[in-house]
Every structure is written in structure tokens, then in C-alpha cells.
Amino acid sequence: MNTWNSSKNSSPPDTESGFCGMWRAERKAMTTLDARRLEQKLEQAPAMRIPLQDRSFMASVIMLLFEKSGEPYILAVLKTDTHGYPWRNQVALPGGHMEKNDVTPLDTALRELEEELCITPDHLHVTGSMGHFPTIRQTVIECFVALWDGDTNRLKYDPTEISRIIEVPVNTLRYLHESAGFSGRIPDTAELTYPYDNVVIWGVTARMIHFLLEHII
């Protein structure tokens, strides 16, 4: 976690010496992915909802969709090879656990996105939620979907937490999904994998991608 105050009324420094540098400069035009269609699909999707009272078991991530050379992509991160880190060497979406100053799960996702990658809400169009995804560690993760302007040149991250950024083409995921026979069924954890760019996407991130491909895109 970064050292600046992550409370609801604070934000990372926007000076050249700050972690995010001049990230709040003029943003690019929003991607041409169809926001209204995504909103409708998310409203109609059979999302799982798990009632929870204990915040210690609640987390949020955000799946950023953007366009590159006219094709849709998902922005993901590869976690560092840190001993004892539960997400060690795993491909993940930006996000984390709820904190006391987060009013809603979406607040958590947006705060973590800014902390991890210096992407601020004014560069996004949040289209909705894919619901809750339980993990083997008893955490329940809510996955939000947002359109992002795709300005990868402004991304910054802490190399002690994130090894690299991975831009995953949706069409490649679709090909892998259909080739493996994942369409129309929910594979078990060992089977549900999406190999790409010398890594393997598995676990809860793979389940979120499976849900996206089956119900949203």
C-alpha cells in the first residue's frame, strides 16, 4: 500500500515528485466501446450477490475495458514474486480490501485503482457490477466494470507490489474460451485457465473473465 493518506477526502500528490506525477493532466477521449450496451448487459446478467456484514471479508476490483488499435482490451496486473504474499505471481485486476473510510464497494475499487495505477475516476465510465466472487481465502470480491480512456503512458505503479502491466485482448480471451470448451458451462478451478503473454490467468480473475465472456461481451 502506498504511504499517502487513502481516506475518502484525500488523494495522491499531483506534483512531479509525487507517486502519480502529473496524472491529472488533460485526459484522452473516452473509448468508443458501447457504454449503454454494457450497462444493459450488466443489469441483465445473473450476478451472484452474497450478503455480508463483516468488512474484513469484503474486497472490490475493477475490470477496465479500453480500445487499442480498434480492438477491446482488459487491463490487468502481474503481482510481484514476494514470499508470503497471497497474490504472489498471479494475474489480477486492480483492487483490494475495503477500508473504514470506504462508504461503498465501488469506493474501494476506485481508491485502490488510484493507489495502484494512478488512474483517477475522471478517466473512467463505470458501467456496473458483475456481482460477487468468493475466493478460497473466504474473501468475497465484488467486480465492477468500467470503460477507461486507455492512456497507458500515464500509468504508474509500485514495483514492490506489481511486476508489470498486462494488456489482455478480449478477442484472444474469447478464442481461448471457445477453444477450451468453456462456453455454456462453469469449469472447475483447475481447468479454468487463460494462458497469455507468458503467464496463466487462473483463480478468481479467470472466473471474472469467464463471467464477462459468457454474459457481458
What is the four-CA torsion angle of 139, 142, 146, 149, rounded to 10 degrees?
-20
DSSP letter, residue 114: H
Which of 85-99, 100-114, 130-144 has the weakest average pLDDT? 85-99
Q: Residue 81 contacts by C-beta under 8 Å, 6 or more apart in sequence?
A: 88, 89, 163
Residue 147 carries which side chain, given as an amino acid letter?
L
Whether the CB-CB separation of 122 and 130 falls below 8 Å is answered with: no
Q: For the residues 110-115, what does the mean pLDDT come to?
A: 98
By percentage, how much of the chain surpasses pLDDT 90?
Answer: 74
Query: How far apart, in whole angstroms, are the C-alpha atoms of residue 32 and residue 22?
Result: 25
pLDDT tens, residue by residue, 79-92: 998 776 666 789 99
pLDDT tens, residue by residue, 27-64: 444 445 899 999 999 999 999 999 887 877 899 999 99
Q: Where are the alpha helices (DSSP H) in 50-121?
A: 105-117
- CATH of 35-169, picked from 2.60.40.10, 3.40.50.80, 3.90.79.10, 3.40.720.10, is 3.90.79.10
DSSP letter, residue 82: -
Whether the CB-CB separation of 4 and 10 falls below 8 Å is answered with: yes
5 vs 162, more confident: 162
Q: What is the pLDDT of residue 1?
A: 35
The three cell numbers locating residue 118:
494512478
Domain boundaries, the chain: 35-169
The three cell numbers locating residue 192:
479454468
* DSSP state string for 34-48: -HHHHHHHHHHS---
